[in-house]
């Protein structure tokens, strides 16, 4: 039996409402390009509290810490690499304050390091684990209920983060999402099917997708994940609020609260267990999504279409075969020169 609040709620059959964007909310509050969002956890904590509170009041049951770029590798870009523990602990503590007022849970947020990990890059798995473990210590000490590893594109980086979490606290739940923004694959070529099957083998109980190119893409991605969901795995979806566009000199996202509410219902009907939003979303989006889900609470959940009906996402085998064919063609061309 689970003894953690997150898994207790999911095992009880609840569909949990996540929160929305942090980065674009901070930009609206005055964060400039090149600024460090994590520094606001100590420099402008009231602004962070206000964002968390707005999401909780909108109906979010999961509050995500302002620590997406909280590894030493990312903070080094702002000359903050010696403040990893401090900024992550502060971020988790702020989220904890608000979560406790609303009976919500705190997701200790971990994003990509920004470095390429072996075998595609110079960073070793040991180095990546150490970076993540340093961040995780601050998040757990600040009061995170679980660790959210999000917006990943390479499975090696996911594995390094999962191992780091377990080194620090073997019992804290882990949630992992990848971003499938390249023809329904991650930038590194991982399909939703490969992601859910591989990450489940590492014992991660909640797996999903976030960010990307908008609600339609997330729905397709989550359809495949739901079709290949291993037994005992819960699924999570957090779509961007559409795509960013320049409107009168400002970046705005084209996914309205009504569009996101419709996506929440369609995602729910696939059998997804945790539903939230990502870039460009606001408390208004979350409130609309929460109202839609509450209104459908007694409706049946059809689940995904059968695998036989799938076809929107190219199979890994087909993708690999096309890649091999291109390489053969290039080698043949080189020989003709």
Q: Is residue 30 part of a domain?
A: yes
The residue among 164, 237, 229, 239 whose CA lies nearest residue 198 is 229
Q: Partners of 235 in the beta sheet?
A: 207
pTM of the model: 0.93
- Taking the C-alpha atoms of residue 305 and residue 283, their distance in angstroms, rounded to an integer, is 31
Over the stretch 200-237, which tens digit does the pLDDT of each residue have?
A: 999 999 999 999 999 999 999 999 999 999 999 999 99
Decide: helix, strand or coil at residue 103.
coil
- Which tokens in the block code for residue 98? 């608000």
Beta strands in 194-300 (DSSP E): 206-211, 234-239, 244-247, 250-253, 274-277
- Do 198 and 225 contact (CB within 8 A), yes or no? no
* pLDDT for the residue 242: 85
- Which tokens in the block code for residue 269? 């009907």
Q: Flag whether pLDDT at 241 surpasses 50.
A: yes
Over the stretch 248-287, which tens digit does the pLDDT of each residue have?
A: 767 778 899 999 999 999 999 999 999 999 999 999 999 9
Angstrom distances, CA of residue 240 to CA of 95, 256, 308: 22, 11, 29
* pLDDT for the residue 313: 77
The residue among 244, 238, 323, 332 whose CA lies nearest residue 286 is 238
Q: Is residue 246 part of a domain?
A: yes
Q: Is residue 317 part of a domain?
A: no
Beta strands 16-17 and 274-277 are: parallel
Over the stretch 151-176, which tens digit does the pLDDT of each residue have?
A: 999 999 999 999 999 999 999 999 99
Q: Is residue 322 part of a domain?
A: no
Over the stretch 61-79, which tens digit does the pLDDT of each residue have?
A: 999 999 999 999 999 999 9
- Do 34 and 40 contact (CB within 8 A), yes or no? no
The residue among 5, 7, 44 whose CA lies nearest residue 234 is 7
Over the stretch 98-123, which tens digit does the pLDDT of each residue have?
A: 999 999 999 999 999 999 999 989 99
2 — pLDDT class (breaks 50, 70, 90): very low
* pLDDT for the residue 312: 74
Q: Is residue 311 part of a domain?
A: no
* pLDDT for the residue 310: 61
Q: Is residue 186 part of a domain?
A: yes
pLDDT exceeding 90 applies to what percent of the chain? 82
315 — pLDDT class (breaks 50, 70, 90): confident
* 270 phi and psi angles, rounded to 5 deg: -80, -10
188 — pLDDT class (breaks 50, 70, 90): very high
- Taking the C-alpha atoms of residue 163 and residue 124, their distance in angstroms, rounded to an integer, is 13
Q: Is residue 149 part of a domain?
A: yes
DSSP state of 114: S
144 — pLDDT class (breaks 50, 70, 90): very high
For 282, the domain range is 5-306
- Do 107 and 148 contact (CB within 8 A), yes or no? yes
304 — pLDDT class (breaks 50, 70, 90): very high
- Do 173 and 207 contact (CB within 8 A), yes or no? no
Give Dmax over CA atoms of the chain in angstroms.
70
244 — pLDDT class (breaks 50, 70, 90): confident
The domain total for the chain is 1
What is the average per-residue pLDDT within 190-194? 97
Per-range mean pLDDT, top range of 34-38, 257-261, 315-319: 257-261
- DSSP track, 159-207: HHHHHHHHHH-TTS-EEEEE---BTTB-TT---HHHHHHHHHHTT-SEE
Q: Is residue 251 part of a domain?
A: yes
Q: Flag whether pLDDT at 336 surpasses 60.
A: no
The enclosing domain of 54 has a CATH number of 3.20.20.330
């Amino acid at each position: 039996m689970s003894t953690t609040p997150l898994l207790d709620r999911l095992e009880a059959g609840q569909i949990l409402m996540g929160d929305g964007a942090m980065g674009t909310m901070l930009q609206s509050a005055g964060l400039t390009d090149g600024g460090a969002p994590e520094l606001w956890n100590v420099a402008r904590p009231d602004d962070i509290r206000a964002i968390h509170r707005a999401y909780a009041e909108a109906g979010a049951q999961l509050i995500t810490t302002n620590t997406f770029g909280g590894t030493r590798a990312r903070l080094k870009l702002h000359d903050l690499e010696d403040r990893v523990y401090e900024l992550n602990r502060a971020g988790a503590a702020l989220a904890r304050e608000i979560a406790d007022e609303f009976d919500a849970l705190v997701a200790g947020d971990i994003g990509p390091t920004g470095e390429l990990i072996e075998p595609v890059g110079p960073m070793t798995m040991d180095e990546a684990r150490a970076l993540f473990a340093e961040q995780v210590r601050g998040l757990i000490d600040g009061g995170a209920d679980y660790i959210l590893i999000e917006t990943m594109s390479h499975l090696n980086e996911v594995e390094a983060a999962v191992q780091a979490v377990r080194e620090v606290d073997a019992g804290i739940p882990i949630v992992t999402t990848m971003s499938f923004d390249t023809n329904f694959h991650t930038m590194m070529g991982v399909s939703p099917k490969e992601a859910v099957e591989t990450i489940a083998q590492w014992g991660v109980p909640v797996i999903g997708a976030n960010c990307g190119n908008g609600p339609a893409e997330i729905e397709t991605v989550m359809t495949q994940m739901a079709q290949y969901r291993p037994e005992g795995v819960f699924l999570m979806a957090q779509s961007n609020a559409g795509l960013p566009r320049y409107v009168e000199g400002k970046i705005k996202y084209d996914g309205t609260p009504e569009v996101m509410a419709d996506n929440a219902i369609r995602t729910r009907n696939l059998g997804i267990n945790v539903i939230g939003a990502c870039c460009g979303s606001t408390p208004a989006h979350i409130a609309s999504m929460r109202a839609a889900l509450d209104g459908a609470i007694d409706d049946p959940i059809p689940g995904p279409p059968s695998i036989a009906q799938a076809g929107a996402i190219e199979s890994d085998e087909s993708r690999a075969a096309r890649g091999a064919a291109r390489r053969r063609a290039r080698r043949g061309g080189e020989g003709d020169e």
